[in-house]
Amino acid sequence: MTRTSRSTSKNDQKSQEATNPHSPVVEFGADKPLHLDSGVSLSPFRIAYQAYGELNADKSNAILICHALTGDQHVANLHPVTGKPGWWETLVGPGKPVDTDRYFVICSNVLGGCLGSTGPASINPETGKAYALDLPVITIADMVRAQAMLVSHFGIEQLFAVIGGSMGGMQVLEWASSHSDKVFAAVAIATGARHSSQNIAFHEVGRQAVMADPEWKEGRYLEHGTVPRKGLSVARMAAHITYLSETALHRKFGRNLQDRQNVTFGFDADFQIESYLRYQGMSFVERFDPNSYLYMTRAMDYFDLAAEHEGRLADAFAGSKTRFCIVSFTSDWLFPTSESRTVAHALNAAGASVSFVEIESDRGHDAFLLDEPEMFSAINGFIRSAARAKGLLPS
């Protein structure tokens, strides 16, 4: 098969990042198996990460950033495949609220991801081929267990802060619940303690789109040299709508037509919004592994922190000494404020220290990735106050 087109070479780059990434990698061998929620042990496995700033002498200034569903470890550097800036450079960097001049910032590719950590595109040592669907199903708690092993690898006993939005926020809550003594401060943004039925429904649409693509080949597309482009692209298009708000969509696109004066009475992308979604879908395919998308969405679907504690969310945080900051956005309908408020109330009931801000924004779920000055000032105030309490800043 000849591989000449631009997208195919991007695809090579994508596969390259999955198996042999630009990022540093920590390999956990047979002596350090990962016990997964599914009951299976995973070994060996690898975690790829990016780190910024300097770890101080007593290893007390580390901040872990947890990425979202389709994010990765490239939080504050150019992306090796897309060449775009880091996905959270608004928040993380020198002089930013998560100040890399002051803190040692780690962001790892989650377990099951496709940017160098063990995931479905990684080679299964038993077969010499990609895992595909032979990789056990990964949960949010599994991702956090792997991150905890990475953090221990650095010799860090307690993270100063764990910060993340959306699926990253789920990891933050899981960290604070199951490793509470290792988390001094937790910032959970645009997230919830469980995935709602509606959210599971959207994910199922996405997965079915991927699996309905004949190029998916029962998940063995890497061996067949195919890519389920259409399926993953449609999945991304549907999901992307859930990340925006109706107001934001209408403001950006309205009913504007794409490079034409009139509708064509056909099924081309007449409207700008159609063209935009198609572009979002296709560019996603160039950087993301379709099977990894199945695993990531499943991990979010399975997340239900209260269920792990007999339905009492407050018990998930019982006795917690962690300081929490919960942030939601008024127009986020994927993780509406009510989900964050539930978490805040549970933390109250557990007697935990909690700040909860709802940010006025009409940009929907994706607002957490955008320039939202009020969010920055809240997070900045929270982090500085926590840093004073931990002795990282003069009080």
Please identify every residue annotated as catalytic.
166, 332, 365
Subset of residues 241 to 270 that bind other proteins, contact rule: CB under 8 A: none
Q: How far is the CB of 325 from other proteins (least distance, A)?
A: 7
Contact between 82 and 115 (Cβ < 8 Å)? no
Rule CB under 8 A: say whether 380 interacts with other proteins.
yes
- Can you tell me the distance from the alpha carbon of 45 to that of 42, in angstroms, rounded to the nearest whole number? 7
Across the chain, which distance is largest between two alpha carbons, in Å? 67
Q: Which residues are annotated as a binding site for substrate?
A: 236, 366
β-bridge mates for residue 303, sequence order: none
- Can you tell me the distance from the alpha carbon of 357 to that of 379, in angstroms, rounded to the nearest whole number? 10
Packing angle, helices 197-212 and 290-302, rounded to 10: 160
> Residues 354, 364, 365, 372: which binds other proteins (CB under 8 A)?
354
Is the Cβ of residue 24 or residue 391 nearer to other proteins in the bound state? Answer: 391
Name the 3-class secondary structure at 382.
Answer: helix
DSSP 37: T
Binding segment for other proteins (CB under 8 A), chosen from 20-28, 100-108, 141-149, 348-356, is 348-356
- Can you tell me the distance from the alpha carbon of 86 to that of 93, in angstroms, rounded to the nearest whole number? 10
Tokens representing 335 are 């993780």
> Residues 159, 359, 367, 369: which binds other proteins (CB under 8 A)?
359
Environment class of residue 131 by beta-carbon count within 10 Å: exposed (0-12), middle (13-18) or buried (19+)? buried
Q: Which residues are annotated as a binding site?
A: 236, 366
Binding segment for other proteins (CB under 8 A), chosen from 112-120, 204-212, 248-256, 318-326, is 318-326
Alpha carbon of 74 to those of 9, 151, 165, 280, 357: distances in Å? 21, 17, 15, 19, 27
Q: How far is the CB of 62 from other proteins (least distance, A)?
A: 20
Subset of residues 274 to 303 that bind other proteins, contact rule: CB under 8 A: none
Is the Cβ of residue 239 or residue 350 nearer to other proteins in the bound state? Answer: 350
> Residues 222, 356, 366, 372: which binds other proteins (CB under 8 A)?
356
CA dihedral of 388, 361, 294, 137, whole degrees rounded to 10? 30
Which helix (H) or strand (E) segment is 50 a member of?
strand 45-52
Length of the chain: 395
- Can you tell me the distance from the alpha carbon of 318 to that of 313, in angstroms, rounded to the nearest whole number? 9
Is the Cβ of residue 35 or residue 388 nearer to other proteins in the bound state? Answer: 388
Is the Cβ of residue 143 or residue 350 nearer to other proteins in the bound state? Answer: 350
Rule CB under 8 A: say whether 339 interacts with other proteins.
no
Q: How far is the CB of 101 from other proteins (least distance, A)?
A: 20
Rule CB under 8 A: say whether 360 interacts with other proteins.
yes
Q: How far is the CB of 374 from other proteins (least distance, A)?
A: 6
Name the 3-class secondary structure at 155.
Answer: coil
> Residues 106, 162, 357, 369: which binds other proteins (CB under 8 A)?
357
Is the Cβ of residue 170 or residue 325 nearer to other proteins in the bound state? Answer: 325
Rule CB under 8 A: say whether 307 interacts with other proteins.
no
Q: Rounded to the nearest 5°, which phi and psi values hold at 164? A: -170, 160
Rule CB under 8 A: say whether 385 interacts with other proteins.
yes
In sequence order, the 6+-apart residues with CB closer than 8 A to the CB of 381 are none
> Residues 22, 323, 363, 365: which binds other proteins (CB under 8 A)?
323
- Can you tell me the distance from the alpha carbon of 390 to that of 385, in angstroms, rounded to the nearest whole number? 9
DSSP 54: -
Rule CB under 8 A: say whether 349 interacts with other proteins.
yes
Is the Cβ of residue 32 or residue 388 nearer to other proteins in the bound state? Answer: 388
Rule CB under 8 A: say whether 341 interacts with other proteins.
yes
Is the Cβ of residue 227 or residue 346 nearer to other proteins in the bound state? Answer: 346
Neighbours of 31 (CB within 10 A): 7
Binding segment for other proteins (CB under 8 A), chosen from 112-120, 123-131, 270-278, 373-381, is 373-381
Which helix (H) or strand (E) segment is 243 a member of?
helix 229-243
Rule CB under 8 A: say whether 309 interacts with other proteins.
no
> Residues 351, 370, 371, 391: which binds other proteins (CB under 8 A)?
351
Rule CB under 8 A: say whether 14 interacts with other proteins.
no
Rule CB under 8 A: say whether 19 interacts with other proteins.
no
- Can you tell me the distance from the alpha carbon of 205 to that of 146, in angstroms, rounded to the nearest whole number? 29
| Interface positions with other proteins (CB under 8 A) | 323, 325-326, 341, 344-345, 348-351, 353-360, 374, 377-378, 380-382, 384-386, 388
